[in-house]
Amino acid sequence: MKTHKVALIPGDGIGPEVIAEGIKVLDAVAAYDGGFSLEFTEFPWGCEHYLRTGEMMPADGIDTLSHFDAIFLGAVGYPGVPDHVSLRDLLLRIRHDFDEYVNVRPVRLLRGAPCPIKGVSQADVDMTFIRENSEGEYAGNGAWLYRGTSREVVIQDGVFSRYGTERVMRYAFELARSKHQSLTSISKGNALNYSMVFWDQIFDELSQEYADVETHSYLVDAASMLMVRDPARFQVVVASNLFGDILTDLGAAIAGGMGLAAGANLNPERVFPSMFEPVHGSAPDIAGRGIANPLATVWSASQLLDHLGHPQWGARLIDAIERLLVEAKTLTPDLGGTASTQRVGDAVVRLLAND
């Protein structure tokens, strides 16, 4: 029997609460399937670990994780630890060191999910965001000069390499081609006269090569407006690290909220493990109350199953989430219900059994 080794990093705040339900669902899937098993190893890394040890993960953390088939992460960040430390020293480090340069974030209105935009149907909101995940505005390069004086200056560089830009765009073109969908590039070439002009140029070059793929290019400000006014225009979307990060939160808002937004950080060549996580953060405002919505985590578990070679189970998990939303009996408060995190996890397992 095939055993998949999965590293768990539940993290902070609601992270452990939602990951517990993700594991519950994945264990149920493996039991129902009978042909593979999942071996989980948990790592207690995150803000508490930082407060105890001064580091978000041990020095050999990356080496430890490199022996796993995949990583399943809850959320990191908590009051008391600066966000740029918690994010950069754990999450961004894993994405960077494992060259997880593709961040796949589905923005899809599932059956039964609430949409705040009037007159929009389920078919109108079906996008796949491909966010560049290894460089761009989050490269972490810059300087802080004359710190603490009246002359202080900060410089935050954006890093756009031809290699990095081309590879993420190629991934997006291939995906659009395989799905017979259009590809939209998000830019800001009118104001960012180096990085985004370069981005546009590479998109144009690849458009010639992928002449069969319908392409569009929007400025990020126009794209934010159009995602609300006319979401049906967007199918596969490719965006830089920062623009993709922001637009997918907007996407989450039009596709049911943060409790339903999932993301996969992929190393497509599979040299390193890929990482699966809900898009949301540690939600300190509701942590410890047992009311966090675990469905984003269940959706990322579905992406994890796709990645491990079980796409039929990935699809069945999405179907179970949809039936739960349509049934509307076991939902957490963010979706208008009164159910606890655990009860939602139990309900997904029940629906999988009744498939």
Which residue ranges make up the site for ligand NAD (CB under 6 A)? Answer: 14, 18, 75-78, 83, 87, 91, 258-259, 277, 280-286, 292-293, 296, 334
Nearer to ligand NAD, 137 or 277 (CB): 277
Q: How many CB atoms lie within 10 A of CB 8?
A: 20
Closest to 23 (Cα-Cα) out of 306, 276, 284: 276
| 281 versus 345: smaller Cβ distance to ligand NAD | 281
Q: In sequence order, which ranges of the chain are alpha helices (DSSP H)? A: 15-33, 47-53, 61-65, 83-86, 93-97, 162-179, 195-209, 220-229, 241-254, 295-307, 311-327, 341-353
Closest CA to 282 of 80, 76, 81, 92: 76
Q: Measured from the CB atom, is 76 or 324 closer to ligand NAD?
A: 76
**In whole angstroms, how close is the CB of 253 to ligand NAD at the nearest point?**
10
Least Å distance between CB 133 and ligand NAD? 12
- Which bin fits 142, alpha (ψ -120 to 50), beta or left (φ > 0)? left
- Between 251 and 281, CB nearer to ligand NAD: 281
DSSP code for 6: E
The string over 158-188, giving b where at least 16 C-beta atoms fall within 10 Å of a residue's C-beta and e elsewhere, is: bebeeebbebbbbbbbbbbeeeebebbbbbb
Nearer to ligand NAD, 280 or 323 (CB): 280
Cα separation, 190 vs 272, in Å, equals 37
* Min dist. Cβ of residue 168 to ligand NAD (A): 19
3-class secondary structure, 187: strand
Alpha-carbon span 243 to 129, nearest angstrom: 11
Please, what is the minimum distance in Å from the beta carbon of residue 212 to ligand NAD?
Answer: 35
Identify which of residues 33 and 55 has a Cβ nearer to ligand NAD in the complex.
55
Minimum CB separation from ligand NAD for residue 18, in Å?
6
Minimum CB distance to ligand NAD, residue 281 (Å)? 2
The minimum distance between CB 299 and ligand NAD, in angstroms, equals 11
| Nearest residue (CB) to ligand NAD, 46 versus 158 | 46
Spatial contact of 41 and 68, defined as CB atoms under 8 Å apart:
yes
Could you tell me if residue 140 is left (phi over 0), alpha (psi between -120 and 50 degrees) or otherwise beta? left
User: Is the Cβ of residue 103 or residue 128 nearer to ligand NAD in the bound state?
Assistant: 103
Question: Helices marked H in 58-194 — which ranges?
Answer: 61-65, 83-86, 93-97, 162-179
Please, what is the minimum distance in Å from the beta carbon of residue 166 to ligand NAD?
A: 26
